[in-house]
Amino acid sequence: QLQASGGGLVQAGDSLRLSCAASGLTFSNYVMGWFRQAPGKERDLVAIIGWTGSTSYYADSVKGRFTISRDNAKNTVYLQMNSLKPEDTAVYYCAGASLRLDSTWYLRARSQNVYGHWGRGTQVTVSS
Which pLDDT tens digits describe the chain residue by residue (128 residues)? 999 999 999 999 999 999 999 999 999 999 999 999 999 999 999 999 999 999 999 999 999 999 999 999 999 999 999 999 999 999 999 999 999 888 889 899 999 999 999 999 999 999 99
pLDDT at 123 (0 to 100): 98
What is d(CA 84, CA 15) in angstroms, rounded to the nearest whole number?
6
pLDDT at 5 (0 to 100): 96
